[in-house]
Amino acid sequence: MQKPTKDGLSSNRDKRGSPGALFEALKPGMGGRVFVTVGTTRFDELIRAVDSHEVSNILRSRGHDALVVQKGSGEYKMHNLLAKDEAATTLANGLKVECFDFLPSIADHIASASLVICHAGAGSIFEGLRAGKRLVVIPNTSLMDNHQIELAHHLEHLGHLVCASPETLPSVLSRLDDTIFVPFEKGSPHGIVTAIDRLVGFSN
């Protein structure tokens, strides 16, 4: 017999109930895996935002079957979608969830994802765009003297990605099927970043 966790779910979370609605039939959506990354930084607000049954149900309703989270060096530990000290599980709605701190390379995770949710670091953004992924970018507004907001909003203006905040992430994900992404032309990320820096007045 499987041991119930504190929220009444079985340890593998695929046999019993879960907070929020379960979906008997998946609505049309692009499906596939969702990869969340904060790169080499810490961004607890982003990890907290995705550690939500509301978000998991939205992703499942869009046909996604897995949520993989790279949480970096932050102090926040996922506890809504994962039980204590649990690194992976399958929720009652069928969504597989996995979380880790760091890997030598996250290129394979980005390559296998149909949707990438990330902070607004230039490295993470352009790695996702070069891989041809749909991108939801959440700038970390707590950083001092950072260009994340300007970079993310400029690329959103060009149609390459969608910006969100931790608070608006559920609503942005719900509307994502109506979003048309402009393909990103592969080239030198450094050159593009420099051009954007000049555009928004950070360099001469």
- In CATH, which of 3.20.20.105, 3.40.50.2000, 3.30.470.10, 3.20.20.70 is domain 32-199? 3.40.50.2000
What's the distance, CA 52 to chain centroid?
12
The pTM of this model reads 0.79
Buried b (16+ CB within 10 A) or exposed e, 158-191: eebbbbbebeebbebbeebeeeeeeebeeeeeee
Contact 54, 170 (CB under 8 A): yes
pLDDT at res. 148 = 77
**pLDDT at position 194, please?**
57
Residue 185, pLDDT score: 76
Q: Could you read off the pLDDT of 87-122 as tens digits, one per residue?
A: 999 999 999 999 999 998 999 999 999 999 999 988
Mean pLDDT, contiguous 10-residue spans, the chain (204 residues): 35 35 40 93 96 97 96 95 94 97 93 96 91 94 75 91 97 91 71 55 47
Quick one: pLDDT at residue 110? Answer: 96
Q: Determine the Cα–Cα distance for residues 91 and 1; give it in Å rounded to an integer.
A: 18
pLDDT at site 60: 96
Q: What ranges do the domains of the chain cover?
A: 32-199
Please give the pLDDT value at position 30. Answer: 61
pLDDT value of residue 25: 36
How confident is the model at residue 16, as a pLDDT?
A: 28
Helix%, strand%, coil% for the chain, nearest 5:
30, 15, 55
Tell me which long-range contacts 172-178 makes (C-beta under 8 A, separation of at least 24). Answer: 172/136, 173/55, 173/58, 173/59, 173/62, 173/136, 174/58, 176/62, 176/115, 176/134, 176/136, 177/28, 177/29, 177/30, 177/62
pLDDT at 187: 57
What integer pLDDT is reported at residue 20 of this predicted model? 37
Residue 107, pLDDT score: 93
